[in-house]
Amino acid sequence: MQNQEEVKRLKNSVQQLLDEAKEQGASAAEAGLSQENGLSVSARLGEVETIEHHCGQGLGITVYFGQRKGSASTTDLSPESIKETVTAACSIARYTSEDVYAGLPEKELLATEFPDLDLNHPWSISADEAIILAVECEDAARNFHADISNSEGATVNTHQGIHVMGNSLGFLQGYISTRHSLSCSVLAQRGDSMQRDYWYSVARNANNLEAASAIGRKAAERALRRLEGRSLSTRQCPVLYSAEIASGLLSSFISAISGGNLYRKASFLLDAIETQVFPDFVHIYEQPHLKGALGSSAYDSEGVATKNRDIVSEGILRSYVLGTYSARKLGLRSTGNAGGVRNLTIDSGDLDFQGMLKKLDTGLLVTELMGQGVNILTGDYSRGAAGFWVENGVIQYPVEEITIAGNLKDMLKNIVAVGNDIDYRGSTRTGSILVEQMSIAGE
Amino acid sequence: MKILNLARQAILAPAGIQDGDIEKIMNRLLSSSVDAADIYFQSSHSESWVMEGGIIKEGSHSIEQGAGVRAVSGEKTGFAYSDRIELPVLLEAANNVKAIVRQGQEARVRLVYAANEVQYYPIANPLKSLPEQQKIDLLRKVDSETRKLDARIEEVIVSLSGVHETILVANQDGSLAADIRPLVRMNVTVIVEENGRREQASMGGGGRSDYNYFIDQDQALNYGKEAVRQALVNLEAEDAPAGNMTVVLGAGWPGILLHEAIGHGLEGDFNRKGTSAFSGRVGERVASDLCTVVDDGTLPGRRGSLSIDDEGTPTENTVLIEKGILKGYMQDKLNARLMGVKSTGNGRRESYASLPMPRMTNTYMLPGTHNPEEIIRSVKKGLYAKNFAGGQVDITSGKFVFSASEAYLIENGQITRAVKGATLIGNGPDVLTKVSMVGTDLQLDSGVGSCGKEGQSVPVGVGQPTLKIDGITVGGTSV
């Protein structure tokens, strides 16, 4: 079983890597090591389908020779291979250019406090127990309605990982975390119409997973409600993003204020700091230290301390999302976001999902988006969609084979309301989001 | 035997694994209730270089190696993998895997050696095909030549990557097969600006070859030229139209239509389970009689090509649709066995750490009889979509999308104005029935495709001639 002893052992290995880099002439170095174990069991049509045992490891190192940088990684952790990996990184640094912005984070930004974030809850479930749970979940879906015609199965997944990182400024930390999930995907059929949908639950602690039967029933309900969908005529109308897909809107926003896109001038939000990007009721912030949450960590992927902070308040952009390199390119300091944002949260209003439907009144409820038609440089947005047509706050019929389009700059400004029907399953926490108007293309 | 011996040297020798050890692991996996079993060894060395802001900004090197063991009984699969290629570890993995099948009589296996009949790419190590300094010089040359092309260019990002992968797969019948798979890729992204408006475009290519691929015929410089051309077109682009209209798709990369609209839906696993919109439709009309579509893993040097798939089966040129009639599915061993057909050599996996599945190789449509200009001239009002970014499909409902990155309006048979990229959405089982003209100009893509399925990414190719679809929904903003 993985434990603190193991963390200590990996910390020693990381220190050896850093020492080896110094030995080979590097002026600075950063290294990470991870070990992962897991079990994934799926059942289909009442029988076990696959049992997968996961057992992986890997290390990566970045070395600096002054302002020149080289990186290497390997899954082979034999002493010879580790040495070769350091050599490969050092050799690359002979060919990369002097880059005045390259280097480790400023020492004073590195995390010095390491609270227990309650991320490690091993689930001692055997493969046989996992099969029973998966079958229970799938049964609940298959028995839900006569129109549930087929299944892609239910999957139980449990995973534990140790991640250790260190750098030549003396930072050396590691933690153990777990992640468990239960998912189900089924098909519904009526006449010629066949639809598939799924539901899942994910948590650091298996006790916080939704009940297997509830997940199965939700998967079945979601597949059934899509049957006999139709297209819409081409039009403009308000669009309600359901909570489980609304996080995608926020990730496009985060991408546009991320250092890499800003210093490359590849964002529709260039120089938008301290300007109105959202309507004034919008408040978006990061909570990296939430106990037991999926996105929690005391430090980012460079060791920089993470902090609770506002990104948007009163609709105004208050801070970019930066790692060390992009911050230096922009003449700013790292915001502790190397590797992304953590537990990004948007404040909800008073309306639940039904209230949001009423607020939408007549328009499109989107529950699924397809494709990657988002251009972060221009903000142009055009994606395939499926969902429901809503009139007077009441769902009328399922809709498919349409696209929704607009420009993100306008879409963010024209957010009308954020629901309190929050989806807690990801690292972004948002309720449903209502956008005032978008272009719908259909038949 | 040459490839097999090289693979042994690359993967097994350093780990001290003998053929007898593979037999031991296989014997541990096998019993009378096991229908299939395999042990997959992989060693992959890769590198990438990035030039940005006029400097060589990043370089990285990566080694991925390990082994996966699998036992299959009926529809049940047990699987385990390890990054450690060590006999005790692999024997334990075999024990874990076998728990999925009922115990039966023990079986014994003796390895036999399957020589690859044909190789579709050279036994090359791209990483060693050029000295480091020449890789750097290539990046610098592409960067500086591209920057010279137009005053409106603000930024150029050039990347170069190479993979040298060796695989070895042992099957329950004792066959041992190996493959050495080079793969190179280069990409140029440019950002242009004019009067405060900024746009970007990318172009790249590659294949199962070494870095000389980019030097021959100035291939690399052409990527820069093409990226600049597309970015400048986008500077002029107006809002795209919205609604159902006639669309002419360009030759080559727009073949992503075939990959999304029909390719995934014709993968054996979905059809064995009956979850695809194409399930049970072999022999039926799913396209106009102008359409013949194949999946061909045997094209020399292409990004999606394989001499053998990841289960050791030689790849094929598989006819999926012939003159509009659905002919068959793409199969791996498990789904082929359960459907009572032969594997088509489409069993692929991202790495030793993932299970194989039926996957595409190079999917394309054969040429027709129409001159491309004639096709454009036949359209009174519509969209000409010349280049695309990615796509996605829901194989059950059949709905698919693909996103244009370079498009023009067609008005009265003439290409008139450039319009912004937009997502197109259609229904897989009927979109090809609306194909009314197919060009003579079959082209394959330049070698940039990657396909994702159940979290596993594999390199693929697509292609098609210019073709006309009599109605598909275009997701612009101009209502």
- A258 in the same domain as A213: no
Contacts of B200 in chain A (CB under 8 A): 266, 377
| Residues of chain A above pLDDT 70, percent | 100
Choose among B59, B155, B425: nearest Cβ to A71.
B59
* Res. B108: pLDDT tops 90: no
DSSP conformational letter for B145: H
Token pair for B132 = 């480091």
Together in a domain, A164 and A269: no
User: Minimal CA–CA distance to B243: which of B76, B475, B27?
Assistant: B475
DSSP character at residue B324: T
Among residues B145, B156, B220, B223, which one has the least CA distance to residue B193? Answer: B156
Handedness of CA A233, A236, A240, A244 (dihedral sign): positive
pLDDT confidence bin for B106, thresholds 50/70/90? low
> pLDDT digits over B307-345, tens only?
999 999 999 999 999 999 999 999 999 999 999 999 999
- Chain B residues inside the 8 Å CB shell of A265: 154-155, 191, 193, 198
B376 touches chain A (CB under 8 A): no
Q: Are residues A315 and A387 both part of a single domain?
A: yes
Q: Residue B103 has what pLDDT?
A: 62
* Probe site for chain B from A75, A187, A196, A407 (most B CB atoms < 10 A): A75
Lowest mean pLDDT among A129-138, B114-123, B279-288: B114-123
Instruction: Give whole-number Cα distances, B412 to B369, B375, B378, B383, B477, in Å.
Output: 22, 12, 8, 11, 22
Contact A74 B421 (CB under 8 A): no
d(CA B236, CA B229): 11
- Looking from the CA of A198 toward its CB, the CA atoms found within 13 Å total 13
CA distance A420 to B220: 52
CA distance A377 to A264: 10
Same domain for A245 and A317, yes or no, is: yes
Give chain B positions within 8 Å (CB) of A370: 392-394, 399-401, 423, 425
End-to-end CA distance of chain A: 57
Do the chains contact at B475 and A44, CB–CB below 8 Å? no
Higher pLDDT, B98 or B92: B92
Cβ contact, residue pair A377, B426, below 8 Å: no
A75/B65 touch (CB, cutoff 8 Å), yes or no = yes
Lowest mean pLDDT among A382-386, A415-419, B11-15, B360-364: B11-15
| Phi/psi at A92 (5° precision) | -60, -40
B residues 332-371 lying closer than 8 A (beta carbon) to A: 353, 355
Q: Note whether B141 contacts A: Cβ–Cβ < 8 A.
A: no
Name the B residues in 41-100 with CB < 8 Å from any A CB.
Answer: 52, 55-66, 75-83, 93, 96-97, 99-100
Judged by CB atoms closer than 8 Å, whether chains meet at A97 and B83 is answered as: no
Q: Give the integer Cα–Cα distance in Å for A25 and A94.
A: 11
When CB atoms are compared, the residue of A73, A97, A236 closest to B57 is A97
What is the reported pLDDT for A1?
Answer: 45
pLDDT digits (tens, 9 = 90+) for B19-62: 999 999 999 988 778 899 999 999 999 999 999 999 999 999 99
Q: Does one domain contain both A246 and A327? A: yes
Which residue in A has a C-alpha nearest to residue B15's C-alpha? A78
Total number of domains in chain A: 2
With residue B271 as reference, give the H or E element that holds it.
helix B268-273
Structural contact between residues B195 and B89, judged by C-beta atoms closer than 8 angstroms? no
Residues A136 and A59 in one domain: yes
Contact B475 A403 (CB under 8 A): yes
Please write the tens of the pLDDT for every residue from A42-97: 999 999 999 999 999 999 999 999 999 999 999 988 888 889 999 999 999 999 99
Give the chain A residue nearest B403 (alpha carbons): A373
Determine contact: A92 vs chain B, CB below 8 A: yes
Per-residue pLDDT tens over the stretch A324-349: 999 999 999 999 999 999 999 999 99
For B401-438, write each residue's pLDDT tens digit.
Answer: 999 999 999 999 999 999 998 999 999 999 999 999 99
A377 interaction partners in chain B (CB closer than 8 Å) = 191, 198-200
- The C-alpha of A383 sits at a distance from chain B's nearest C-alpha, in angstroms, of 6
Interface with chain A: mutation pick from B11, B166, B396, highest number of A CBs within 10 Å: B396
Enumerate residues 318 to 377 of chain A having a beta carbon within 8 A of any beta carbon in chain B.
370-373, 375, 377
Helix (H, G, I), strand (E, B) or coil at A57: strand
- Let me know whether A215 and A293 are in one domain: no
Of the candidates B55, B82, B424, the beta carbon closest to that of A55 is on B82
Is A91 within 8 Å of B132 when comparing Cβ atoms?
yes
Contacts of A89 in chain B (CB under 8 A): 60-61
Residues 119-138 of B with CB under 8 A from A: 132-133, 135-136
Number of helical H runs and strand E runs in chain B? 12, 24
Between positions 187 and 226 of A, the ones with CB within 8 A of B are 187, 194-196, 226
Q: Tell me the Ramachandran region of residue B194: left when phi exceeds 0, alpha when psi lies from -120 to 50, beta otherwise.
A: beta
Give how far Cα A158 sits from Cα of A39, A186, A244, B227, Å: 5, 21, 22, 44
Contacts of B64 in chain A (CB under 8 A): 74-75
Reply yes or no on whether the pLDDT at A211 is more than 50. yes
Boundary-marking domain end, from A197, A225, A253: A225
Which H or E element spans position A14?
Answer: helix A4-23
Q: In three state form, how does the secondary structure of A232-275 look?
A: CCCEEEEEEECHHHHHHHHHHHHHHCEHHHHHCCCCCCCCCCCC
- Arithmetic mean of pLDDT, A278-293: 97
- At A80 the pLDDT is 85
Helix (H), strand (E) at residue B376: helix B372-377
Give dist(CA B34, CA A141) in Å, integer: 30
- With a cut of 50, say whether residue B110 has pLDDT above it: yes
| A28-48 exposure pattern, b = at least 16 Cβ within 10 A, e = fewer | bbbbbbbbbbbbbbbbbeeeb
Say how far residue A94 (Cα) sits from the centre of its chain. 35
Contact between A152 and B273 using a beta-carbon 8 Å cutoff: yes
> Quick check: A370 and B401 CB within 8 A?
yes
A contacts of B59 (beta carbons < 8 Å): 69-71, 92-93, 95-96
- Whether A401 and chain B come into contact, CB under 8 Å, resolves to yes
Q: How far is A363 from chain B (nearest CA, A)?
A: 16
pLDDT band at residue B105 using 50, 70 and 90 as cut-offs: low
Q: Give the three-class secondary structure for A325.
A: helix
Query: What CATH number has the domain bearing residue A150?
Result: 3.30.2290.10
Q: Is the pLDDT of residue B116 over 70?
A: no
> CA-CA distance, B305 to B298, in Å (whole number)?
6
Lowest mean pLDDT among A359-363, B107-111, B370-374, B444-448: B107-111
Owning domain of residue A330? 229-443
* Closest C-alpha to B348, from B336, B340, B339, B356: B356
Residues A200 and A273 in one domain: no
Q: What is the pLDDT of residue B107?
A: 66
**Percent above pLDDT 70 for chain B:** 98
Q: What is the pLDDT of residue B185?
A: 98
Report the residue from A187, A229, A372 with minimal CB separation from B403.
Answer: A372
A40's tokens:
């994934």
Query: What ipTM was reported for this prediction?
Result: 0.94
Q: Considering only alpha carbons, which residue of chain A is nearest residue B98? A: A51
- Tell whether A305 and A327 lie within a shared domain: yes
Which chain A residues are within 8 Å of B81, Cβ to Cβ? 53-56
Contact by Cβ (8 Å): B63, A85: yes
* Residues of chain A above pLDDT 90, percent: 96
CB A71 to CB B61 under 8 A?
yes
Instruction: Tell me the per-residue pLDDT of B3-18, one tens digit each, with 9 for 90 and over.
Output: 999 999 999 999 999 9
Chain B positions in Cβ-Cβ contact with residue A198 (cut-off 8 Å): none
Cα distance from B374 to chain A (closest Cα, Å)?
Answer: 27
* Tens-digit pLDDT profile for residues A101-157: 999 999 999 999 999 999 999 999 999 999 999 999 999 999 999 999 999 999 999
Q: What is the pLDDT of residues B161-209, one digit of tens each?
A: 999 999 999 999 999 999 999 999 999 999 999 999 999 999 999 999 9
A372/B392 Cβ within 8 A: yes
Whether residues A235 and A210 share a domain: the answer is no
Same domain, A249 and A363: yes
Q: Strand B76-82 relative to strand A47-65: parallel, antiparallel, unpaired?
A: parallel
Mutate to test the interface with B, among A84, A403, A443 (most CBs of B within 10 A): A403
Beta strands in B253-380 (DSSP E): 293-296, 317-322, 325-326, 347-348, 357-358, 362-365
C-alpha span between B371 and B385 (Å, rounded): 17
Residue corresponding to tokens 């259609």: B426
Q: Which of A225, A245, A278 is the last residue of a domain?
A: A225
Single out the residue in A196, A225, A254 at which a domain terminates. A225
Same structural domain, A190 and A308? no
**Chain B partners of A98 at a C-beta cutoff of 8 Å?**
55
User: pLDDT per residue over A231-249, tens digit each?
Assistant: 999 999 999 999 999 999 9
Looking at every residue in chain B, the average pLDDT score rounds to 95
Torsion sign across C-alpha atoms A402, A408, A413, A418: positive
